[in-house]
Structure 1
Amino acid sequence: MSRFGSYGLPLFPVVVWGGMFIVMAGALHHVDAVHLTAVRYVVAAAVLAAVLAATAGRRAFRTEGRLAEVVVLGVVGIAGFNLLVNIALGYTAPQNGALMVALTPLLTVLVRWVRDRVRPSLATVALMVVALAGVGLVITHGHPTDLGEIGSGDLMAFLGVVGWAVYTHGAGRFADWGSLRFSTLTQIVGAAVTVLVALVADLTGVTHLPTLAAFGADAWQIGYIALLSSVLAVLAWNVAIRKLGAPNAALFMKLVPVVTFAIQIARGYRPVPAEIVGAALTVAALVATNVLARRATARATAGVRGVPVPARQPVPTRQSVSTP
């Protein structure tokens, strides 16, 4: 594949995920977030399970003594993240949700610090502050003094992304499984948990099972978030990782909130200048963080091999990059 083709490949999932937040927000007019999430992952998990069975066989569904970890990551990273973010979209703007999700790499650094005692560099911490400041500008529409009035939707989205950061960090411990296998097994767990949450919510009267007409009204939205976003985009992303390497592919994830903002603007939303500045600050900080990580990896690789690595040479890696 040509260089242009290789770098064009990850743009497909980036555009899909950028539009996903807007599509989900629209779908909530007919189906509540709990049932929408459950249907999404029942469909996605079924399709991914079929693909895994066809490509790797039944043995790929064995957890090899790691069932507890798979369950925890599926509950926190799939069910928890998506339920919280989907519910949050009923109370906050899609672009806010996309920007929160873009913070995953920075939050993953903090998770690694807490769990593995790997302290981030001072430069990384400074970039975290810049990124969070950018998010604050977007959420408060350029009025940082209004941070105390951040809505429940923004807080729920942030908590959901913390869960996704835990999932992203955990995915690194399953590199020997491959992205498809890990994604499929954790999505099966997530599907089961979201269905259970929906049943409990219905039985307690918190929610009510939507009618077939309501699901029908959201048919194309469900197809988008389940098939296009959770299956096709994920598979394309996995191919992009193999072609480009995780560090190079991860740079494209920074474009997700940019795509969401662009779609919203095309639909008539008019952001204030401070929102644009905030989004630009966040994306720039995330890109800078990625560049620092790549350089650190290059230095570590050079130290192990005893061979100097050119500053601009991409370093191959087998580490998976988790996706929405």
Structure 2
Amino acid sequence: MQHRLSVRTALLLAVPPLLWAGNAVVGRALVGSVPPLTLNAMRWALAFLFLLPLGWRALSRPHEILARWKYLTVLGALGVGSYNALQYMAVQTSTPINVTLITASMPLWMLAVGFLFFKEPAHRRQLAGAGLSLAGVALVLSHGHPERLLALRLVPGDLLMLLAAALWAGYSWMLARPPASMQGEQRPQWNWAEFLLVQVVFGGAWAALAAGVEQVFLDPVPIVWSAGFIAGWFYVALAASIVAYWLWGVGVATVGPAIGAFFINLTPLFAALLSAALLAEPPRWYHAVAFALIAAGIVVTSRPARR
């Protein structure tokens, strides 16, 4: 059952966007130092080592995992194996601000996936909030000139992030609406670390496969080992993976993915601040207006309905 948005839950859902904004900025900063798919595989390999002391008990009961391998395979592919890989690929040709603003289309994907695959109807407030967020996306893609949308040509990174947003919507709905084997008494007694570790096992396998294809067929740049690279690697593995995924899972389970999606839209604000501070990529005026539209979408969607 979903509950009304409380201050505590709002704070829980606000932390992952900050950490994920840092993830986009770090990915941009490491362009040329590590191939994107290899970075994703390295990220989750290190996250696995961090999680292992906390979640090893889940691996000691392999029959519980094997009985749910279909669900876990898809969940790992969407949340660990594909979304982050696509984001690291996106920042090769786009900026962290643009990449994170494009994820503001997330509410639309959440509503579409919920309606098509989970029979969840969309309410007027959700549609209105999604419309405001979409207006913000259109503004940033047109660089503040809406008439340019008619002749808009997205860079590859923008298209990759649209795909990533759609896949993340599927991941969030699978967390909120799991199959019978993951509900009630049938659900294994996994705590957050154990469940995330299981996801990393399956998602990490997808990430490793993608990195192998990259190394063999795509002629990637070599890894440039440095203190900055190692610091960035530890950040994306610990903060942007373990901490962010844990808080996101708790928040989405409480209020549902439709409301949770609007908090992802805080990521562009944090990305703009971090990019200006660390990458010398200051935000433009249309970024501020786009964020205002996105914030309005959060307010409209999270307001309780009138009785």
Report the TM-score when normalising by structure 2.
0.80
User: Aligned pair in 2 of structure 1 residues 61, 166: CA closer, same or farther (>3 Å)?
Assistant: farther
> Does residue 1:36 correspond to 2:48, yes or no?
no
1:279 aligns with 291
Residue pair 1:106, 1:286 contacting (<8 A) in 2 also: no
User: Could you tell me how far 1:235 is from its partner in structure 2?
Assistant: 4.0
User: Could you tell me how far 1:60 is from its partner in structure 2?
Assistant: 7.7
1:90 aligns with 92
> Does residue 1:166 correspond to 2:177, yes or no?
no
> Does residue 1:19 correspond to 2:43, yes or no?
no
1:187 aligns with 200
Q: Which moved further from structure 2: 148-157 or 99-108? A: 99-108
| Corresponding pairs, count | 288
Residue pair 1:127, 1:286 contacting (<8 A) in 2 also: yes
Per-residue displacement from partner, 1:151-200 (whole Å, max 9, x unpaired)?
A: 22111101011111101001113464554443322221111111111112
User: Could you tell me how far 1:119 is from its partner in structure 2?
Assistant: 2.6
Alignment of 1:109-258 (within 5 A): 109-147=111-149, 148-174=152-178, 176=183, 177=187, 179-204=192-217, 206-208=218-220, 210-211=222-223, 213-214=224-225, 218-235=229-246, 241=251, 245-246=254-255, 250=260, 253-258=264-269
SS at match of 1:31: coil
Distance 1:4 1:287 in 2: 13
Per-residue displacement from partner, 1:63-89 (whole Å, max 9, x unpaired)?
A: 262211210121123211111111001
Distance 2:214 2:273 in 1: 35
Residue pair 2:24, 2:87 contacting (<8 A) in 1 also: no
How well do the aligned residues superpose, as a CA RMSD in angstroms?
3.2
Q: Which moved further from structure 2: 214-223 or 81-90? A: 214-223
Q: 1:47 aligns with which of 33, 45, 50?
A: 50
User: Aligned pair in 2 of structure 1 residues 64, 291: CA closer, same or farther (>3 Å)?
Assistant: farther
Per-residue displacement from partner, 1:269-305 (whole Å, max 9, x unpaired)?
A: 443322211121022213322335xx49xx8xxxxxx
Aligned amino acid, residue 199 of structure 1: G
SS at match of 1:218: helix
Distance 1:130 1:237 in 2: 23
Distance 2:77 2:125 in 1: 33
Q: Percent identity?
A: 26
Distance 1:108 1:179 in 2: 23
Residue pair 1:202, 1:209 contacting (<8 A) in 2 also: no
1:321 aligns with none
Residue pair 1:74, 1:186 contacting (<8 A) in 2 also: yes
User: Aligned pair in 2 of structure 1 residues 290, 185: CA closer, same or farther (>3 Å)?
Assistant: farther
Aligned amino acid, residue 44 of structure 2: Y
Report the TM-score when normalising by structure 1.
0.76
Alignment of 1:259-298 (within 5 A): 259-267=270-278, 268-291=280-303, 295=305
User: Aligned pair in 2 of structure 1 residues 31, 252: CA closer, same or farther (>3 Å)?
Assistant: same
Distance 1:274 1:115 in 2: 35
Distance 2:9 2:206 in 1: 36
**Long gaps (5+) in structure 2:** 1-5
Aligned amino acid, residue 154 of structure 2: I
Aligned amino acid, residue 295 of structure 2: V
Residue pair 2:33, 2:221 contacting (<8 A) in 1 also: no
Q: 2:60 aligns with which of 53, 58, 61?
A: 58
User: Aligned pair in 2 of structure 1 residues 131, 80: CA closer, same or farther (>3 Å)?
Assistant: same
Residue pair 1:128, 1:285 contacting (<8 A) in 2 also: yes
**Long gaps (5+) in structure 1:** 300-324
SS at match of 1:62: helix
